[in-house]
Structure 1
Amino acid sequence: MNPKNERAELAADQRLGVGNVLTTLIERGTGLDRPTLTFDTEVDGHPAWQPLTLAHLGERVAARAAVLHALGVRPRDPVAVWVSDGADQVLGYLALARLGAIPALVNGRVPAEQAAEYIRRLGAVGVIADRPHRDALSSAGSTTALLADPADLGTGDPGAAPAAYRHHGDEPVVITHSSGTTGLPKAVVHSHHSLFAAIRHRLSLPKGQGLDRMLGALPSAHAATVIAVNLALTNRAQLAVVSRQTGTLVLDAIESWRPASVLGFAATWSELAGEDLSRRDLASVRTWWNTGDCAHEAHIRKLIAHGTRESVTARGRVTRSGSFFVDGLGSSEMGHSQFHITHTPDTGRYGRCIGRPHAFSDIAVVDDDGERLGTGEVGQLAVKAPTLSLGYWNDSVTTYRTRRDGYFLTGDLVYRDEEGYYYHVDRLVDAVDLGDGHRLYTMLCEERVLADCAGVLECTVVAVSTDGRVATSVLLVLDPAADQEADRTAEVLAALEPWVARTVERVVVVEPDRIPLGATGKVRKFLLRRRFLDGELLGRETSAKQVAV
């Protein structure tokens, strides 16, 4: 079959969604011997880093479905999956979806007490957990039944699996969760069609560069990995899923597996940018795909200096040095990045520009009363799109609080310029009103410090308002080759707007492990604010520089 025709047919098939892509492709009977998913761990005796064909993947998923069905799992049963390895997350999701159950994927890095409470609130009928996570749940006093160890699921007879469940578009198919930076992660419910909507859109477009061989450096329990898996399957592409997304491990995977594109979050790009990339072979990479939080210019520029890309010129297609970086802004609740912008070594639109909306996105910028704001005015991001989640599982209060006039209020602060480009300045919970028409946007401050201050690998800005006074801390993680004792106060203040600089109480060099992170690598500023209010100074023992206010 002509691949272009197949992509068009899949895009037009309204029965297709994230619950049945694998079984649908197998039923079509074509390309069964083509490589699909690759995992960094062994799968039922199949070696790590060796691709599974479509037929073999279907067989391994059916084996797991047979065991789970024998254990009593039925359609609409929510089942938590809390494991470390990407293979166990992805195969667990595919097997449960095949049964019509609702896999609730839990990031393996969520603390045990939080995970136990999160799973309890789900009302899960059981948990699929590997040994470390089973022990952690037991220590945390979890009362949810331990359903199975993922190591045992592959022992089932694929032929004993029941017929694949018939999904409908608006049915819940998978639950993922938010990053949990402000507390317990929120359970986000995705439907059969919602997580597939952006894939359907992409299938109607020409295939992008680098799509044939992708490295998924994404948290395997995240909605982004569910999308990546189904994007790869529908495009008959190869996807390698790495279980851990630290910079060194991702670079090792790029050198050994030779992907044409790498999918990741901002936290991973930060770690990659902190490595000496000149000592690494990144020649295979054409495209870096970012989702979740938008990425920082300082990190993007370091990545796109490597690899190659194809450009169309008057002389035809030519290969140029330097790769693409596709940026945007998304979240579990949005179901997919709602914006897109492509950077190359020749482009220069930064300053936390997240680009223009996708064709499927209806975007508004609104004030606290829900009224639309004009060009250049910062307000809350409101999204209406077929990719949006159904809401929060077992939490109608939060679901309805975040919906207004058919739009989802994302909790992000953005503005639009005259050319229709959008810029992300902060999360609503982290910004501070300074009075006199000025506001402090912590993420925009971080962007400016990283862009203007040499030797700074990462920057975290935290503002605390008490008794009518705002005190801002600027926490710096430095390149190991930089002078660790130099006073960077002056250059940091120069990078900030005057009304923001006047609030800075200290500029502190800290070790990376002093910055509290959520399971997906996001900084927990809520926790930092609480620590500062309690009098903790993370850099007191290093090189704290008190700034006169």
Structure 2
Amino acid sequence: MNLTQKLTETAKTYPDKQAYIFEDQEVTYKQLDDKVSMFAASLSSEGIQKGDHVALILGNSPEFLIGYYGALRAGAVVIPINPIYTPDEIGYLLHNGDVKAVIMLEQALPLVEKMTNQLPDIALVAYTGEGTEEKVISNTKLKTFTTMIEDNGGTVPEQSIAEDDLAVILYTSGTTGKPKGAMLSHNNLYSNASDTGAYLQITSEDVVITALPMFHVFCMTVVMNAPLISGGTLLILPKFSPQEVFRVAEKYKATIFAGVPTMYNFLYQFPEGRAEYFNHIRICISGGSSLPVALLHRFEKKFNVRISEGYGLSEASPVTCFNPLDRPRKAGSIGTNIRNVENKVVDELGQELPTGTVGELAVKGPNVMKGYYKMPEDTAVTIKGGWLFTGDLASMDDEGYFYIVDRKKDMVIVGGYNVYPREVEEVLYEHPDIIEAAVVGVPDPNFGEAVQAFIVTKQTMTAEDVLTYCGEHLAKYKCPTIVEFIEELPKNTTGKILRKALRKQVNA
């Protein structure tokens, strides 16, 4: 069984039930499944074959949902990309990911000509919009998404899709500066959606608020795939808005809300937020980064709901732990093993550590990725003996609950998004007037953390100069919000920059 097969099965079981609601427009499971098949047929008729890579550069929308399932049904490999990335960032992913087709926002069409000139392997660009005009730029065909889901009589070629076949490549920022593509198989994704859904007791009665970005693996598995294979209904929000979350929760009697800690903070602080809006919510789910215990308690008290915190990473499809619903929830814990997934805490040699001891969290199960795309050496370092070494420090108590003690050494988490300092530093070093640069995370009341840059320059620069430059080369959430100019960066005897010293300086 895979995700698209299960969607068809669900559509036969619940043909007239709402699969999703977007901007108050309801679409049934049969309608969704038909649109997915038509899109898959259109991809095939345009020459997209099994194993070809299809990029989704879309925000939360029906187009993302149909494009995702349609590409999988056509036997293609999906590469979701954050649409707010800069052209440089998108270009790297399209090139490294060997993309053959792109599904994108109409607003991004000005980028198409540049992309197709630099990336001649892209044969098709399907963009959102209502027009029907077809164009060809540098041998790349441009078609509107609307025409791709019209019933043109096409059929989906019979595809023999094996469980181990590649389904999705999720790019995650790497400590080497360039993003790494985590290769997830059909079984990785289906098993994790199924196991997570069972653990959280998701059923056809659930109505799930989809405010997390759909291109992010947290949303993809927990909020999109798990409810759809269970016959639930998605309330798709184009973007996160406390007012809109409360509106749809009340109007459609939502039963599940999932978000990162930043979202919970904004919801809690929203002046018009009232408990009655969440009267039908049976569970709130938190992930992406650690939820402050004080906020967890305040939120639960104000809205009379339960928050279940979990843990995951792109390389694990992503969920490995969740606080169980049938036992006490432990504040500050990421919970226990979900079904069919095993977590353990190990030392530097990979040996399991006793209860209560801090070590690296390692994960094993059908959800663990096949490896990093075109990066066999990185794969060998990360997956050893079938175990995925997460790089996160954790401990486990005597009841099997895990706790994240610290995260990857230098990573900054801004509103649930991972920002690796090296990637930001690489951009800073490219500026002709910057001699040295180092980036650290600093506390931020709204987004959990923010990026602060320490810079040594050749000549006088202003913070505004740096921020403008970064805004041209990095997604907004990766950009420094604080810039400090110093004469020299602290280093050890080998010349390595000491970020730890900079963090101490920030906290002094």
**What TM-score do the two structures reach when normalised by structure 2?**
0.73
Task: For residues 55-84 of structure 1, give each alpha carbon's deviation from its aligned partner in whole angstroms, at most 9, with x where no partner exists.
Answer: 111222222223222211111111111123
Distance in structure 1 (CA, Å) of the matches to 2:507 and 2:6? 60
How far residue 92 of structure 1 moved from its aligned partner, in angstroms, is 0.6
How far residue 547 of structure 1 moved from its aligned partner, in angstroms, is 8.7
Distance in structure 1 (CA, Å) of the matches to 2:487 and 2:241? 31
Matches within 5 A, 1:276-291: 276=271, 278-279=273-274, 281-291=277-287
Task: For residues 165-214 of structure 1, give each alpha carbon's deviation from its aligned partner in whole angstroms, at most 9, with x where no partner exists.
Answer: 33211111122232679844322221111111133335667935896111
Determine if the alignment matches structure 1 residue 197 to structure 2 residue 188. no
How far residue 282 of structure 1 moved from its aligned partner, in angstroms, is 2.7
Distance in structure 1 (CA, Å) of the matches to 2:279 and 2:239? 22
SS in 1 for 2:179: coil
Asked whether the 8 Å contact 1:89–1:105 carries over to 2, the reply is no
Distance in structure 2 (CA, Å) of the matches to 1:194 and 1:546? 43
Asked whether the 8 Å contact 1:83–1:133 carries over to 2, the reply is no
SS in 2 for 1:354: coil
1:349 aligns with: 330
How far residue 259 of structure 1 moved from its aligned partner, in angstroms, is 1.0
Matches within 5 A, 1:476-491: 476-477=444-445
Distance in structure 2 (CA, Å) of the matches to 1:383 and 1:277? 41
1:509 aligns with: none
SS in 2 for 1:305: helix
Matches within 5 A, 1:433-448: none
2:21 aligns with: 38
The answer to which of 143-152 and 407-416 deviates more is 143-152
Distance in structure 1 (CA, Å) of the matches to 2:31 and 2:195? 28
Determine if the alignment matches structure 1 residue 20 to structure 2 residue 20. no
Task: For residues 478-507 of structure 1, give each alpha carbon's deviation from its aligned partner in whole angstroms, at most 9, with x where no partner exists.
Answer: 79xxxxxxxxxxxxxxxxxxxxxxxxxxxx
Asked whether the 8 Å contact 2:60–2:213 carries over to 1, the reply is no
1:540 aligns with: none
Distance in structure 1 (CA, Å) of the matches to 2:252 and 2:175? 33
2:127 aligns with: 149
Distance in structure 1 (CA, Å) of the matches to 2:506 and 2:14? 64
Q: 1:32 is matched by which residue type in structure 2?
A: P
2:220 aligns with: 226
2:257 aligns with: 262
Q: 2:146 is matched by which residue type in structure 1?
A: G
Distance in structure 2 (CA, Å) of the matches to 1:183 and 1:400? 18
Asked whether the 8 Å contact 2:171–2:180 carries over to 1, the reply is yes
SS in 2 for 1:195: helix
Asked whether the 8 Å contact 1:367–1:380 carries over to 2, the reply is yes
Asked whether the 8 Å contact 1:177–1:222 carries over to 2, the reply is no
Matches within 5 A, 1:180-259: 183-201=177-195, 207-208=201-202, 212-227=206-221, 228-259=223-254
Task: For residues 124-153 of structure 1, give each alpha carbon's deviation from its aligned partner in whole angstroms, at most 9, with x where no partner exists.
Answer: 112222222332455577425252224323
Asked whether the 8 Å contact 1:267–1:522 carries over to 2, the reply is no
Is the alpha carbon distance of 1:378 and 1:522 closer, same or farther for their aligned partners in structure 2, counting shifts above 3 Å? Answer: farther
Q: 1:20 is matched by which residue type in structure 2?
A: Q
Q: 2:27 is matched by which residue type in structure 1?
A: L
The answer to which of 224-233 and 257-266 deviates more is 224-233
1:419 aligns with: 399
1:161 aligns with: 155
Is the alpha carbon distance of 1:202 and 1:405 closer, same or farther for their aligned partners in structure 2, counting shifts above 3 Å? Answer: closer
SS in 1 for 2:187: coil
Is the alpha carbon distance of 1:117 and 1:422 closer, same or farther for their aligned partners in structure 2, counting shifts above 3 Å? Answer: same
Determine if the alignment matches structure 1 residue 100 to structure 2 residue 39. no
Determine if the alignment matches structure 1 residue 340 to structure 2 residue 336. no
Task: For residues 377-434 of structure 1, give each alpha carbon's deviation from its aligned partner in whole angstroms, at most 9, with x where no partner exists.
Answer: 2211111111112122222222222112221111211112233321102223239xxx
2:312 pairs with 330, 346, 371, which one?
330
The answer to which of 92-101 and 135-144 deviates more is 135-144
Distance in structure 2 (CA, Å) of the matches to 1:92 and 1:219? 15
Task: For residues 462-488 of structure 1, give each alpha carbon's deviation from its aligned partner in whole angstroms, at most 9, with x where no partner exists.
Answer: 9xxxxxxxx998534379xxxxxxxxx
Q: 1:394 is matched by which residue type in structure 2?
A: K
Is the alpha carbon distance of 1:370 and 1:242 closer, same or farther for their aligned partners in structure 2, counting shifts above 3 Å? Answer: same
Determine if the alignment matches structure 1 residue 177 to structure 2 residue 186. no
Matches within 5 A, 1:477-516: 477=445
Task: For residues 479-536 of structure 1, give each alpha carbon's deviation from its aligned partner in whole angstroms, at most 9, with x where no partner exists.
Answer: 9xxxxxxxxxxxxxxxxxxxxxxxxxxxxxxxxx99x99xxx99759x6899677889
1:406 pairs with 386, 398, 417, which one?
386
Q: 1:269 is matched by which residue type in structure 2?
A: Y
Asked whether the 8 Å contact 1:19–1:173 carries over to 2, the reply is no
Asked whether the 8 Å contact 1:62–1:158 carries over to 2, the reply is no
Asked whether the 8 Å contact 1:384–1:407 carries over to 2, the reply is yes
**CA RMSD, Structure 1 to Structure 2 (Å):** 4.0
Asked whether the 8 Å contact 1:366–1:382 carries over to 2, the reply is yes
SS in 1 for 2:15: coil
Matches within 5 A, 1:250-399: 250-276=245-271, 278-279=273-274, 281-307=277-303, 322-341=304-323, 349-350=330-331, 352-399=332-379
1:68 aligns with: 43
SS in 1 for 2:334: strand
Asked whether the 8 Å contact 2:268–2:299 carries over to 1, the reply is yes
Distance in structure 2 (CA, Å) of the matches to 1:522 and 1:383? 32
Asked whether the 8 Å contact 1:63–1:154 carries over to 2, the reply is no
Is the alpha carbon distance of 1:411 and 1:85 closer, same or farther for their aligned partners in structure 2, counting shifts above 3 Å? Answer: same
How far residue 338 of structure 1 moved from its aligned partner, in angstroms, is 1.1
Distance in structure 2 (CA, Å) of the matches to 1:534 and 1:275? 42
Aligned residues: 431
Q: 1:143 is matched by which residue type in structure 2?
A: L
Is the alpha carbon distance of 1:262 and 1:197 closer, same or farther for their aligned partners in structure 2, counting shifts above 3 Å? Answer: same
How far residue 109 of structure 1 moved from its aligned partner, in angstroms, is 2.2
Is the alpha carbon distance of 1:360 and 1:523 closer, same or farther for their aligned partners in structure 2, counting shifts above 3 Å? Answer: farther
How far residue 37 of structure 1 moved from its aligned partner, in angstroms, is 1.9
1:55 pairs with 30, 38, 51, which one?
30
Is the alpha carbon distance of 1:405 and 1:254 closer, same or farther for their aligned partners in structure 2, counting shifts above 3 Å? Answer: same
User: Percent same amino acid at aligned positions?
Assistant: 24
Matches within 5 A, 1:1-20: 16-20=1-5
Asked whether the 8 Å contact 2:18–2:26 carries over to 1, the reply is yes
How far residue 100 of structure 1 moved from its aligned partner, in angstroms, is 0.7
Asked whether the 8 Å contact 1:171–1:192 carries over to 2, the reply is yes
SS in 1 for 2:37: helix
Determine if the alignment matches structure 1 residue 77 to structure 2 residue 52. yes
2:90 aligns with: 115
